[in-house]
Structure 1
Amino acid sequence: MFRQNLDPTGSLTLSALLALLPLFLLLALLGGLKWKAHWASLVALGAALVIAVLTYSMPVGQALNAGAFGAALSVLSILWITFNAIWIYNLTVKSGHFAVLRRAFASISDDRRIQAIVIAFSFGALLEALAGGGSPVAICAVMLIAIGFHPIKAAALALIADTAPVAFGGLGNPITILGTSTGLNPEDFGAMAGRQTAVLAVFVPFILLGVADGRRGLRQAWPAALTGGLTFGICQFVFSNYWSYRLCDIFAAIASAGAIMLLNRVWQPASDSVTTSVATGGSAEVPAATRVMAGGSADLPAATPVLAGGSLDGSGATVEPGSRDDSGGEIFRAFAPYIIIVVLFSVAQINAVKTWLATHGVWTFAWPGLHVLNPGGKPVNTHYVLNYLGATGTLLFFSGLLTLLVLRMTPLTGLKTYGETIRQFGWAIFTILCVFALSYVMNLSGQISTLGVWLARAGAFFAFLSPIVGWFGVTITGTDAGSNALFGNLQVTAAHQLGAAPTLFGAANTSGGVMAKMISPQNLAIGTAAVGMVGSEGTLFRRVFGWSALLLFLMCLLVWLQSTPVLGWMVP
């Protein structure tokens, strides 16, 4: 039996600095020394184990077992979701319906920058709302490559776009877990988070334009960014406050895409020959070895033109705009996998169905050999919940089986494609296992709680630091839900100590965490694996870190103002 000591050195500041060391190593090796994510995460895990044993006096066996527990949790919460989401995408590629889907998106606008907003921001938000787990990054990144973006830029756009919807991703799972971990009403947290992330959502499409085409993109296409961001933010605010936080991202995603489509009927952005808005006759060079097919079977030669309105079919050949007319049936089948996901996940949210799945499809057991007490002497939860029927990944797997039927593909093709999908991830699997092991070694040894308690000593200024706690949590765990499980109760406790609103600090944890999705090693690994550039995680990290830090600062400022009379009226 191991009992946590949150100040093992006798100096809380020194203990916090030691607890911060594994995370600092992880970020420094990725961004500074350009290490590959799997080696950086392995070194960080080793550092966390050493600190847990030598500083926090955690027995070696318990420390190693904590890492194994975390790695096992990642299989269901990340890998099982991501494999199945990318498998469904790869089935559409195999069947040729990805080409139809891309032409449908291209028909929204002839401008590649606007297509990027619709795909990465709106469609990505829909995927995040339904599944989460890195699936929006993987699917949207490959779609962006197909319309002409360089793989690293495509992955960066997908990562940056996957911010505003994260707090309510997976049908509101982070908010639900926040309510469970704190014992407070999740609806209140959802309403407060909607008053924070809705503000953030307005700015994200502008950042996408800047990344896609610099100042020219902002100057020429800002009305589309304003329309998409404002529509998304308003819908997210309204639905999270007055209907259901579980469904707000679904409606916000659909509304933002619809608003951009309507705008495009009366307005077109200025363009010139330099802009690779390919429907006007420009083209975009796709680097060699860009993997588009399932399993990376289609290597495109350098300077392969990818034209807007055209597509890459199953063979990797270019299809000119207007070279074929897609029938209504083909378009329906192209969107069918995502329609199936929406329907299946909606059915799973019906109370009777949800209760049946929770009763018949869950196996909970205590993780063998792992016995941890918190500083108060109460047992820390080390139960493994095997949700084999109602889990997000399982519902995606069932969606994939139905997709096979709709796309008229054989079971053998489906099985072969699944194997190719797993091989596509390669070292990314090892990275995800290591980072989850790291997070649970830090959590169960007490290192994460030490950081939280140290930050809480900032007094009233903690309102500014509160989102940073969530940001650290997502950086380590890779999920907003994981960060809320780790730090949600700490935020509420700090609020009570400071006489602040618990809903404000709790929501700040989830809202601050969304900016870390783009820099968490798990999502970096998923992004590089999806675009066929495993090993480039450090390069991708440097592309997005600045945006993560800027958005985090803005969220910190917003939460601090909400804790004062200036914006205190925003707190329900």
Structure 2
Amino acid sequence: MYHQQVNPTGSLTGTALLALLPLTALLILLGGLRWKAQWAGLVALAAAVAVALFSYSMPLGQALDAGAFGAALSLLQVLWITFNAIWIYNLTVRSGHFEVLGRAFAAISDDRRVQAIVIAFSFGALLEALAGGGSPVAICSVMLVAAGFDPLKAAVLALVADTAPVAFGGLGNPITVLGSTTGLSADKFGAMAGRQSAILAVFVPAILVGIAGGWKALRQVWPAALTAGLTFGLCQFAFSNYWSYKLCDIFAALASAGAIIALNRVWRPADAEGGRPVPVIAGGSVDDPDPAVVRRVGAPGGDSRTDRVKAFAPYAVIVLLFSLAQLDSVKNWLATHGIWKFAWPGLHILNAKGKHVDTGYTLNYLGATGTLLFVSGLITLLILRTGLIAGARTYAATIRQFGWAIFTILCVYGLSYVMNLSGQITTLGVWLAGAGSAFAFLSPVVGWFGVTITGTDVGSNSLFGNLQVTAAHQLNVGPTLFGAANSSGGVLGKMISPQNLAIGTAAVGEVGAEGLLFRRVLGWSLAMLLALCTIVWLQSTPVLSWMVVH
């Protein structure tokens, strides 16, 4: 039995600096020295194990087992989701219908900067609301490549856009977990998060326009950016506060897309920046002679209604299946018949308070996000009239295209669980909570740090939710403020988490360029984090205290 210690060295600051070593090594190797993500992740994992052994006195077997536990969790939580999301995309490329989809998005606007808003922001938010788990980054990246964007710029756009909906992604799962972890009202946490993340969401489309076409582009495209941002932000706020936080992203995504379509009927940019759709398989080349990248669907005079229906059908199937899976009767059946839980062998851990740490593995083989995507892919085979053999070959090719990205994800998930189960992450949280009144400013940083390591807002909320609430009580601040700030701040770490960087580069065929992608998105992550820290700090003062849910 391993008993976690918050401060094994006797100096909380010294212990926190040691606990920071794995993350510091990862960021320096990835962003500074430009190592490939797989080697940076492996070194960071080794550093986490070393800190666990020599600073926290965690037995070697437990430390290695913790890493194996994390890697096993990544199979279901990341890889199973991403493989199936990209498989569906690759099926549409092979059949030629992805080009039809690209032309359909182009029909909304002939300006690719507006297309970036519709695809990365609105459509990506819908995918995040329903599936999450990296699927918006994977799918939207390749859709942006098809719209004519450079592969890495497409990945940057998808990563930055995915900040707006994450706090309420997976039908509000991060907020639900936050409520269950702290024992407080999830509805109140959702309402408070809607008063934080919705503010940032208003500005995300403008940032996307700047990334897509430079800041001069805002003079030409600001009506579309403002329309999408305001519509999304207002819907996210209204639904999270007055209806259901579980549904707010779905309606916000649909409303923002509808608003852009309506705007395009009465307004167009003066100088449209077009982009020729590039029919490319993720991981392939624009010059690839493979028949899968050759236009085979749609007449030169225009795509038929049937072609367009088939092009959108796979994503409509995803929306339908995930919506059905949220019905109480279906959810209860899946929970009863489709889950296998077992204690992970060899892990026996007590936290600093002497309570057993949950190290159970839940194999959700029927209701998991990846399984629902896999079923969506099987239905897509029928819709696109693709045979099982061709579908299996496409699936094998999809796995091959990820290459080293698989190893990277396994390493980083292993790293996060070594740090978590050894007590390193708890040390960092307690150390930051000791900042006193300044913690109001640092509260989102805790969530940001949690998502950077774990890759998910759910993981960050489960790790630091109670810490945020405890700090709020010590500072005589409403617990909903800091709890929600953990979730809202966490979303800004999503774009720099190594798991999502690996997904983005694999999707656009740039495996190994994670360091370059990291440097391109880090500034945006930090800038938006600073803005959110300021908002949360002001909400803890009389200036914006009227915004706090009590």
For Structure 1 versus Structure 2, the TM-score category normalised by the shorter chain is over 0.9
Runs ≥4 residues deviating over 2 A: 312-320
The residue that corresponds to 1:299 in the other structure is: 285
Distance 2:100 2:351 in 1: 54
Is contact 1:69-1:367 (8 Å) kept?
yes
* CA deviation after TM superposition for structure 1 residue 301, in Å: 3.8
TM-score, normalised with respect to structure 1: 0.93
Question: Could you tell me how far apart the structure 1 residues matched to 2:291 and 2:535 are?
Answer: 46
Identical pairs, percent: 72
The one-letter code matched in structure 2 to 1:277 is G
User: Is 1:267 paired with 2:245?
Assistant: no
Q: Is the 8 A contact 2:99 2:146 kept in 1?
A: no
Q: Is this contact kept in 1: 2:48–2:419, CA < 8 A?
A: yes
Decide whether the 8 Å contact of 1:313 with 1:319 is kept in 2: no
SS at match of 1:299: coil
Q: Which residue of the partner structure matches residue 543 of structure 2?
A: 566
- Taking the aligned partners of 1:241 and 1:399, their CA distance within structure 2 comes to 32
Q: Which residue of 1 aligns with 2:87?
A: 87
What corresponds to 1:146 in structure 2? 146
Query: Residues 297 and 307 of structure 2 are in contact (CA less than 8 Å); yes or no, is this contact kept in structure 1?
Result: no
**Alpha-carbon distance in 1 for matches of 2:340, 2:195:** 36
Match of 2:452 among 475, 481, 503: 475
Map 1:435-514 onto structure 2 (within 5 A). 435-514=412-491
Question: Distance between the aligned counterparts of 1:493 and 1:426, measured in 2?
Answer: 43
1:270 Cα deviation from its structure 2 partner: 2.1
Alignment equivalent of 1:377, drawn from 354, 357, 360: 354
Deviation at 1:483, TM superposition (A): 0.9
Match of 2:246 in 1: 246
Distance in 2, matches of 1:362 and 1:117, equals: 38
1:277 to 2:274 alignment: yes
- SS of alignment partner, residue 361 of structure 2: strand
* 1:223 pairs with 2:220: no
Matched, 1:37 2:37: yes
1:86-165 to structure 2, matched below 5 A, reads 86-165=86-165
Q: Kindly provide the CA deviation profile for residues 304-324 of structure 1, in whole angstroms up to 9, marking residues without a partner as x.
A: 9xxxxxxx993345999x933
Write the distance in 2 (CA, Å) between the matches of 1:560 and 1:119: 33
Amino acid at match of 2:330: V
Where does 1:361-376 land on structure 2 (aligned, <5 Å)? 361-376=338-353
How many positions carry a matched residue from both structures?
Answer: 549
SS of the residue aligned with 2:265? helix
Q: CA deviation at 1:458?
A: 0.9
Inter-partner Cα distance in structure 1 for 2:454 and 2:280: 28
User: Which segment drifts farther, 410-419 or 428-437?
Assistant: 410-419
* Aligned partners of 2:96 and 2:295 also within 8 Å: no
Matched AA of 1:498? L
Structure 1 position 86, deviation (Å)? 1.1
Kept in 2: contact 1:357–1:390 (CA 8 A): yes
The structural deviation recorded for 1:113 is 0.6
**C-alpha distance in structure 1 between counterparts of 2:263 and 2:526, whole Å:** 31
Contact 1:96–1:313 under 8 Å retained in 2: no
Residue of structure 1 in register with 2:199 after alignment: 199
| Alignment partner, residue 523 of structure 2 | 546
Q: C-alpha separation between the residues in 2 aligned to 1:431 and 1:100?
A: 33
Alignment check: 8 A CA contact 1:122 1:253 kept: yes
2-structure distance, mates of 1:4, 1:63: 12
| CA distances 1:460-498 after superposition (whole Å, capped 9, x unpaired) | 211110100000011001111111111111111211222
Task: Give structure 2 stretches of 5+ with no counterpart.
Answer: none
Match for residue 314 of structure 1 among 289, 292, 301:
292
Return the alpha-carbon distance in structure 2 between the equivalents of residues 317 and 85 of structure 1: 22
Between 63-72 and 393-402, the greater mean CA deviation after superposition: 393-402
Deviations 1:225-264 (A, max 9, x none): 0000100001111111111111111111111111011111
Q: Normalised by the size of structure 2, how large is the TM-score?
A: 0.97
Residues 41 and 71 of structure 1: is their aligned pair in 2 closer, same or farther, counting only changes over 3 Å? same
Report how far residue 292 of structure 1 moved: 2.4
The answer to whether 1:183 aligns with 2:183 is yes
1:56-71 matches, cutoff 5 A: 56-71=56-71
Q: CA deviation at 1:327?
A: 1.8
Structure 1 residue 170, shift from structure 2 partner: 1.3
1:512, 1:140 → 2: CA distance?
A: 23
Q: Is the 8 A contact 1:361 1:390 kept in 2?
A: yes
- SS of 1:364's equivalent in the other structure is strand
Question: Could you tell me whether the CA contact under 8 Å between 1:128 and 1:170 is conserved in 2?
Answer: yes
Deviations 1:189-211, CA, capped at 9 Å, x for gaps: 11111111110101111111111
Q: Aligned to 1:35, what secondary structure does the other structure show? A: coil
Quick one: which amino acid aligns to residue 483 of structure 2? Answer: G
- The amino acid across from 2:274 in the alignment is S
Which amino acid is the alignment partner of residue 78 of structure 1?
Answer: V
Report the AA paired with residue 564 of structure 1: T
Tell me, yes or no, if structure 1 residue 409 matches structure 2 residue 386.
Answer: yes
Cα 1:111–1:318 change in 2 (3 A) is farther
Q: Give the counterpart letter for 1:122 in structure 2.
A: S
The unaligned stretches of length 5 or more in structure 1 are 305-311
